[in-house]
Amino acid sequence: MHRDSDKPREPSSDDSAAYERIVAAARRIFFANGFRRVTMDDLARELGMSKKTLYEHFPSKTALVEAAILDKFRAIDGELQRITSEFSSDFIGTLRDLLAYIQREMGEIQPPFRRDIKRHPELFSHVEGRRRQLVQRYFGGIINEGRKAGVVREDVPAEIIIEIILAALERIMTPSKMAELEMTPKAGFSAIVSVILEGVITRNTVSGEQ
């Protein structure tokens, strides 16, 4: 995703706390305000450190943006793993938990960041690819388990279900789209979950819930 010379320096045990503090601040500031107009001077001032110290950890703003994105995906990966590891026979509950968590995490990323990242095709492609991998791994896993349990319809390919979930995450479950539809995130999320569940679960499961 970047040149070798542009990679952030791996932190040692002595400076890992500072490294993590920088990434946490960058994640908060970039995701809320975008990164195009945020300078390294702005970040250093926000962190209360010199720009020299900042550059000792990250050779460029691009490297810091990438580190913030990686940090977010690591957190999402860990939580999705936790949710799916607790999957028993409650397919519907697990799917709701997965979608609810993703919806909450997407709320951190505001329109300015979305606009900025679309201006950087390589970064945008990386983010889209990582999101697809996570959805395929975790949602695909519970769909297969749900199918084994007789909860998920056999006549709907898992790949189609995953594409529907991805489309919902990418095009509908975003703050800007919810505002455009004049819906609260909670209402929009509930509607999307209902549509997905009604489309993929078996009739026996629907009858059993009523």
- pTM for this entry: 0.79
Residue span of the structural domain in which 155 resides: 86-209
Mean pLDDT over residues 110-125, rounded?
Answer: 91
Neighbours of 175 (CB within 10 A): 16
Mean pLDDT over residues 157-170, rounded?
Answer: 86
Statement: residue 104 has pLDDT above 50: yes
Residue 75 lies in a domain: no
- What are the pLDDT digits (tens) for 3-46? 444 555 555 545 788 899 999 999 999 999 999 999 999 999 99
Residue 72 lies in a domain: no
Residue 198 lies in a domain: yes
- For residue 12, the domain's CATH number is 1.10.10.60
- Residues 146 and 198 reside in one and the same domain: yes
- Give me the percent of the chain exceeding a pLDDT of 70: 88
